[in-house]
Amino acid sequence: MAMLGIAWAAWDLLPEVVTTREATVDRTATEVSRWVVVGAVPAAAVLCTVLMVGARPFDRFIVRFLGRLGLPAGDGDRDRVRDLNAVLITLALFFFVTHCVIIAYEAGAEFPVVPVALALVGAVVATLGVLLRDRLVRDTVVLARAIRRSGR
């Protein structure tokens, strides 16, 4: 909803047609409606959320399959839900800030887009590393033990 509010507030500042790629000698310019600029990031956020939440039943299948093989199946369901929530919250913030950057840039704000995008990606990776560090350490230790037991 926040992304839609930002888009609504900036709607009049956006040009009717946005050029996403300038014309060169070899190709023509690529232009899209402002509807695409306003709707692309929220649509990507919804798609990622649907795919991640929709994969939960498949996650349970993998855990049961690994358990039958005698392999470590990871943490309990509660921990996996907590980790999924951490990822979804982080991605929601990432998509929101990305949407704001795109809208501001297309509305005419002058700022260095590439450094902002790199800082944003770095912040997401660092945040997920902090939030999921316990799982990453546990999974690495469990994997190392499984490799030692297999004799490889």
Q: What's residue 45's pLDDT?
A: 92
Helix, coil or strand: residue 109? coil
CA distance 36 to 21: 14
* C-alpha angle 14-99-15 in degrees, rounded to nearest 5: 10
Look at residue 71 in the predicted model and tell me its pLDDT: 62
pLDDT of residue 46: 92
Predicted local distance difference test score (pLDDT) of residue 139: 67
Helix, strand, coil percentages, rounded to 5, for the chain: 75, 5, 20
Percentage of the chain beyond pLDDT 90 is 11
pLDDT tens, 84-116? 888 888 899 999 999 989 888 888 888 888 898
What value does the mean pLDDT take over residues 117-131? 88
Position 113: which residue type?
A: V
Q: For residue 107, what is the enclosing H or E element?
A: none
What is the predicted pLDDT for the residue at 119? 92
pLDDT at site 70: 63
